[in-house]
Amino acid sequence: MQLMWSKLLLVVPWALGLIPAQRNAPAPRVVRLRAAAVVETPAKELLATLTAPEPAARTERLKDLIERTEATFEPRAFEEQNIKGSWRLRYQLDAKAATRSQKALAGFPADSDFINDESGRRVFRNVARLSSERVYVVADVAYEVGDLLPNRLVSDISAAGLYVHVGRRWNWKPLRIPLPIKGKGWLDVTYLDDSMRVTRGNRGGLFVHVRPELCP
């Protein structure tokens, strides 16, 4: 009986927390949670590549990145007002069926602005700068949004000309030489956000434009 009471006198204070824990007891395990890694979308990766100081090489990896970016876009979500404004060409891949004029101007710095021209028509104005700002080609392409495909722009080249700036010190207007560039076709918007757009033409061309303020 005395032995049983002795054990109780030892157990009860420990159960009530009156006896301190052993100094050599293992410390409680602390579980640290790692922050989830930021997943970069194909569009963000493509934009970063095309706006880098060094121009992007025409590699298969870049083509794959463009295609993965296009796969994230829902054509029915296209809204014309989102494509308005100024754009700068950062990548172009011509198909064999491309026109001679398109092939001839490939590689020159170029802009493509969606605007209303002087007559109020909706156009995208393509400007290829052949020699800084002194010599450039301007082609206005009138367009209408397609009925069957909401992201298809049915297009028609309405005017084209070669502009040469002479007599700037006397505020002369640039000399305009009309060019016999005509053609009808379509342009599919295969990706569009606030910063970048991807389009494909009816002759198989692939074009990626970004907003000018993002370019180096």
Q: Find how far residue 139's CA is from the centre of its chain.
A: 23
Q: With contact defined as beta carbons under 8 Å apart, do 109 and 128 qualify?
A: yes
Q: With contact defined as beta carbons under 8 Å apart, do 110 and 129 qualify?
A: yes
pTM of the model: 0.77
Q: What are phi and psi of 22, to 5 degrees?
A: -65, 140
Q: With contact defined as beta carbons under 8 Å apart, do 69 and 47 qualify?
A: no
Per-residue pLDDT of the chain (216 residues; tens, 9 = 90+): 444 444 434 444 444 444 444 445 555 555 454 544 455 899 999 999 999 987 666 688 899 999 999 999 999 999 999 999 999 999 999 999 998 888 889 889 999 999 998 899 999 999 999 987 789 999 999 999 988 899 999 999 999 999 998 877 888 888 999 999 999 999 999 999 999 999 999 999 999 999 999 998
